Structure 1
Amino acid sequence: MRKGEDFVAYSLAVDESSDTSDTAQLSIFIRGVDSNLCVTEELLGLKSMHGTTTGKDIFEEVSKCVDEMKLPWDKLVGLTTDGAPAMCGQKSGLVGRMREKMREKQAGELTVYHCIIHQEALCGKALKMDHIMSTVTQVVNFIKAKGLNHRQFKSFLEELGADHSDMPYHTEVRWLSRGKVAKRFFELREEICLFMESKGKDTTELRDEKFQCELAFLCDIMNHLDALNLQLQGRAHVITDMYYAVRAFRTKLRLWESQMQQGNLAHFLCCQVMKEQTATAVMPFAQFAEKLILLGAEFTRRFADFEAQKCRFELLSNPFAFDVNNAPSNLQMELIELQCNDTLKSKYDSVSAAQFPPYLPDTLPELHAQAAQMLSMFGSTYLCEQLFSLMKMNKTPHRSRLTDEHLHSVLRISSAQSLTPEIDALACKKRCQVSGLDPCASSE
């Protein structure tokens, strides 16, 4: 990977998953920034791990990958992983061993992040509304687990002229499915009750107004969480934008908590429906406000590692409004020069914050280096998760004997973004193989 030689800063995103043959596949993505502050985001390596997957094993594979690509350790500035102990362990995990390696190489401090999308999905557990989702899942499983029940349910919805023709399944590993199932269940709650009663099932809980109010609240808050989740997904996201999306959501939570205390359901549409159908006294506004407070506290706790970088984020996203007194001493003089430059201020106003860093002149080397480090940071392991989805489509039970080498080649091509093959160089390495002389040719 020749581009790696030009990187002035780079970060890694690391995650692990098992393929259909139960082989652990370790994906390693790199996000590098060159001296022109151009960002390259590509698959660095995919390693098959046929033995154990301890922190030591993962570290050895990552370290080997970095060395094979001849990437300088002193240019490594960030590491993003999922929350597994083998990854996040401060002593024997990948994080701890990577930091020890950096100290041995006398490199700088390694900034570590727990995947922001994974963190956001885990925050939903603070609501402690599993009892609602458990009931929903049991009913959905009853309807869809048996073919006869499922066919009868779809026919039943068709006869009633319902807005939807079926119910989706909830899959735990698919974070967005939870909100979709809850919302569809809420929209079909009357039809579901009638169908369950036709099957001789007790629907006392399903028809309980308190249950339906809690279901409505769960639908609304999950809809907001899913919208944030989708906002955080995708390639080439600048980490500052992801951080500000989460910060904005925390601010929204405070607004919703205040409005909920006052009985204002402006941003909770399903709750509005229930409020119109039930007595006002039934809607537990105080209980829902408390849950919003708990959710906000969980966001604060889980995103503490991102909050600790707030100063660096603001330096990249809005350097002209940054208070020089709060800047690191090595950046203060250059920051003053930047803020007093009307030409650069005009350029900043005409482009987005993420597009501005390449316009920083060479006369501001410290700000240039700071921008390179921040632009190289991964906010999530989204690329790893996307690669695993591609892996499951390529290495299926019908193609379980696909070799590691072929799987790696297929996924490298599938995940490539800016890298292109050097066809001429590859062709020069090949020699034409002649199977035999032309029988029509002269024997002379």
Structure 2
Amino acid sequence: MIGSIKGFVSLVKRENSSVITTHCFLHREALVAKTISNDLKSVLEKVVKIVDFIKSRPLKSRLFTKLCEELEAKHLKLLLHTEARWLSRGKVLSRVCELKEEMLAFFTLEQEEFCDLLADDTWCAKLSYFADIFELLNTVNASMQGKSENVLSSTDKIKALKEKLQLWGSKVKEGNLDMFSHVAVAANSGVIIPIISEHLAVLEKQIQHYFPDICTENYDWIRNPFVASISTQSQLTLMEEEQLVELCHERDLKLLQMQLPLDEFWAQIKTKYPHVAKKALVMLIQFSTSYQYDVTRRIVSLTALID
């Protein structure tokens, strides 16, 4: 619908080629998370099959809940995986991982295939890693949702994730699995170290593909014009730099900047410093994600930008 070749973006750019477009950070992160080897993909498929076997049958679902109550389990119900809800995958895997003993007891009398899987230490170790890595990816995804989020802060979080993947990859090669809480306590976890190492490397590569480098340091003056130095790569004109210098020496504006969100601050000073404020708003007005923003706040910035 919004594709850059035949979709909405391409149609808009035919009318105005200077329009700035941003692919949702949440969607791109979800595409990164879908990169799974066949070995790990089979684990997800089996988990979905196991959960569906219980959840799609009301009687079995009630019996499983009763079993969990009697065993004083941490949870009483399983969760269904929904492909359209990007965070559901991690939640489903974590829940299955935490209830695998109860599920093993439930399937003992009727589902030999599921019992074999849940009793297999190697398969459970893969399940544990899956639960851990998607929980970590979900944390990043959720952190990019919010009213104060912008393209600069979202980029910072993706860059941090990329460096974490590099760190985790180096630690895993040393046999250190402490960053994955479920895997660290799983039996036979050492066997899947090559699988984990390969998957982390692929995730890092996919992040580089979906998130080309953007040097956020060049926009530090937008985040805080009163302390940041002007980078030679910031591409400010002489007029914009002069206005930024004047702005930096206004104590009242410094106090105002501490009280307002970035977009509102730059919108309020656009009348006095039109050139540099417009430069900042062009960056901040971009929706970094498809998360439902506070429309009123964004309209204030958009109105100030286009007036």
Is the shorter-chain TM-score for this pair beyond 0.5, marking a shared fold?
A: yes
2:117 to 205, 211, 221: 205
Measured in 1, the distance between the counterparts of 2:179 and 2:32 equals 20
- Structure 1 residues 345 and 256, CA, compared in 2 at 3 Å: closer, same or farther? farther
The residue type equivalent to 1:97 in the other structure is: L
Whether the 8 Å contact between 1:140 and 1:167 is mirrored in structure 2 is: yes
* Structure 1 unaligned spans of 5+: 1-85, 104-108, 387-414, 420-444
Measured in 2, the distance between the counterparts of 1:206 and 1:148 equals 22
Larger relative contact order, structure 1 or 2 (CA cutoff 8 Å, min sep 6) = 1
Whether the 8 Å contact between 1:334 and 1:366 is mirrored in structure 2 is: no
Per the alignment, residue 395 of structure 1 pairs with: none
Per the alignment, residue 302 of structure 1 pairs with: 210
Whether the 8 Å contact between 2:270 and 2:278 is mirrored in structure 1 is: no
Whether the 8 Å contact between 1:357 and 1:368 is mirrored in structure 2 is: yes
Name which one, 1 or 2, has greater alpha-carbon Rg: 1
Per the alignment, residue 163 of structure 2 pairs with: 251
Please list every run of at least 4 consecutive aligned residues from structure 1 whose deviation after the TM superposition is greater than 6 angstroms. none
The count of aligned residue pairs is 292
What does the per-residue CA deviation read over 1:347-387, in whole Å, with 9 as the maximum and x for residues that have no partner? 4884577265357575643211112222321112223xx9x
The alpha carbon displacement at 1:218 in A equals: 0.8
- Output aligned runs, 1:150-299, within 5 Å: 150-202=61-113, 203-235=115-147, 237-274=149-186, 278-279=187-188, 281-282=190-191, 284-299=192-207
Per the alignment, residue 326 of structure 1 pairs with: 233
Whether the 8 Å contact between 2:218 and 2:231 is mirrored in structure 1 is: no
The TM-score with structure 1 as length reference comes to 0.59
Per the alignment, residue 291 of structure 2 pairs with: 382
Give 3-state SS (helix, strand or coil) of 1:114's partner. Answer: coil
Whether the 8 Å contact between 2:25 and 2:289 is mirrored in structure 1 is: yes
Whether the 8 Å contact between 1:115 and 1:381 is mirrored in structure 2 is: yes
Measured in 2, the distance between the counterparts of 1:164 and 1:154 equals 9
Asked whether 1:101 is paired with 2:15, we answer yes
- Structure 1 residues 162 and 171, CA, compared in 2 at 3 Å: closer, same or farther? same
Measured in 2, the distance between the counterparts of 1:286 and 1:323 equals 45
Measured in 2, the distance between the counterparts of 1:265 and 1:350 equals 41
What does the per-residue CA deviation read over 1:5-52, in whole Å, with 9 as the maximum and x for residues that have no partner? xxxxxxxxxxxxxxxxxxxxxxxxxxxxxxxxxxxxxxxxxxxxxxxx
What does the per-residue CA deviation read over 1:86-138, in whole Å, with 9 as the maximum and x for residues that have no partner? 31133x321111111115xxxxx111111111111111112333211101010
The alpha carbon displacement at 1:295 in A equals: 0.9
- Structure 1 residues 200 and 362, CA, compared in 2 at 3 Å: closer, same or farther? closer
Kindly report the root-mean-square deviation, in angstroms, between the aligned alpha carbons of the 2 structures.
3.0
Measured in 2, the distance between the counterparts of 1:363 and 1:121 equals 41
The residue type equivalent to 1:139 in the other structure is: I
- Structure 1 residues 318 and 127, CA, compared in 2 at 3 Å: closer, same or farther? farther
* Structure 2 unaligned spans of 5+: 299-307
1:136 to 47, 52, 67: 47
The residue type equivalent to 1:98 in the other structure is: V
- Structure 1 residues 296 and 186, CA, compared in 2 at 3 Å: closer, same or farther? same
- Output aligned runs, 1:297-376, within 5 Å: 297-304=205-212, 307-308=213-214, 310=216, 313-319=219-225, 320-330=227-237, 333-334=241-242, 337=245, 341=249, 343=251, 347=255, 350=258, 354=262, 356-357=265-266, 360=269, 364-376=273-285
Give 3-state SS (helix, strand or coil) of 1:382's partner. Answer: coil
Whether the 8 Å contact between 1:317 and 1:353 is mirrored in structure 2 is: no
What does the per-residue CA deviation read over 1:265-300, in whole Å, with 9 as the maximum and x for residues that have no partner? 3321111221xxx25643x22331221121122112
Measured in 1, the distance between the counterparts of 2:277 and 2:29 equals 31
What does the per-residue CA deviation read over 1:173-217, in whole Å, with 9 as the maximum and x for residues that have no partner? 111111111011011111111211221422222222211111111
Measured in 1, the distance between the counterparts of 2:12 and 2:185 equals 52
- Structure 1 residues 361 and 334, CA, compared in 2 at 3 Å: closer, same or farther? farther
Whether the 8 Å contact between 2:68 and 2:75 is mirrored in structure 1 is: yes
Give 3-state SS (helix, strand or coil) of 2:2's partner. Answer: helix
The alpha carbon displacement at 1:418 in A equals: 6.8
